Amino acid sequence: MIEPNLPDLSVGKQRALLSISRSSLYYEPKGESEIILDLMRVIDKQFLETPFYGVRQPLGTSLRDTLPGNGSTSSWSDCGS
Domain-by-domain residue ranges, the chain?
1-29, 34-73
Question: What average pLDDT does the chain have?
Answer: 76
Query: Tens digit of pLDDT for each residue in 14-37?
Result: 889 899 888 888 888 899 999 999
* One-letter-per-residue 3-state SS of the chain: CCCCCCCCCCHHHHHHHCCCCHHHHHCCCCCCCHHHHHHHHHHHHHHHHCHHHCCCCCCCHHHHHHCCCCCCCCCHHHHCC
Position 33 scores a pLDDT of 93
Asked if the model's pLDDT at residue 55 lies above 70, the reply is: no
Segment 40-64 mean pLDDT? 73
